[in-house]
A = this chain, B = another copy of it.
Amino acid sequence: MPSKETPRIVEPKANISGAERTLEPLKLGTRLRDVRKNKNWTLEEASKRTGLARSTLSKIENDQMSPTFEVVQKLVTGLEIDIPQLFTKGDLQTNVGRRTVTKKGDGKEHPTATYQHELLCTEIINKRMIPFKSTIRARSMDDFGELVRHNGEEFLYVLEGELTFYSEFYEPVSLNEGDSLYYDSGMGHACVSTSPQDAVIIWVSTPHGY
């Protein structure tokens, strides 16, 4: 493990000058370079993924040219970037510096007929993700009136037991401890425990309205 010599913290995150909207500075190049570096991709790799020439990528990253919209789209899909982010110049740091811990078992209980949810980190509201730890009490699809639907996406990781994930557009799939699942929660879905003891999972959901 490389033991870097120096400091911690850098760039004190100067500008939270609210007013600043878009345009002007927006260092697209640096931005893209950061994204790519963070994924440990070489220009060659990025080139393959975006379908753009290495040279083109290099020039863009060095702010030596302004890519066409077409190219921006390729960048966005190829590098898996969120477009709005690209335009949001610098950091629209809302929610700066929030942090909260939930010790084991200290979440907010939220029991339903089919699941026993323990909401985590509820001290912070207005989050972009809603995490909870759930025990799946449902034992059959009949326990659900209908498949659940709500706009957004969900990620699920199995901590204990075995469960079957039913959904509107797919065959049911069985998940064991250590398996994970990501899905569009606008698609009807439901989880059912299939192990002797109820399955327990970590569930992270995006908030409704976006």
> Cβ of A10: which chain B residues have Cβ within 8 Å of it?
146-147, 149, 188
Chain A interface bracket (under 10, 10 to 19, 20 to 34, 35 or more): 35 or more
- CA of A173 to CA of B31 in the docked complex: distance in angstroms? 31
Interface residues of A in 184-210 (CB under 8 A from B): 184, 186-188, 190, 192, 194, 202, 204, 206-210
Asked if A17 is at the interface of the complex by the 8 Å CB criterion, the answer is: no
Asked if A22 is at the interface of the complex by the 8 Å CB criterion, the answer is: yes
Q: Is the CB of B85 within 8 A of A87?
A: no
Decide if the interface of chain A is mainly helix, strand, loop or mixed: loop
> Cβ of A9: which chain B residues have Cβ within 8 Å of it?
146-147, 168, 188
Q: Which residues of A contact B (CB under 8 A)?
A: 1-11, 13, 21-24, 26, 28, 31, 34-35, 37-40, 66-74, 76-77, 80-85, 87-88, 91-93, 95-105, 107, 110, 112-114, 120-121, 124-129, 131, 133, 137-147, 149-153, 155, 157, 159, 164, 167-170, 172-184, 186-188, 190, 192, 194, 202, 204, 206-210
With A129-B206, A133-B157 given, can you name 14 additional A-B contacts, CB distance below 8 Å? A1-B172, A9-B147, A10-B149, A22-B76, A23-B73, A23-B77, A28-B69, A80-B126, A99-B169, A101-B180, A103-B179, A124-B182, A128-B152, A204-B204
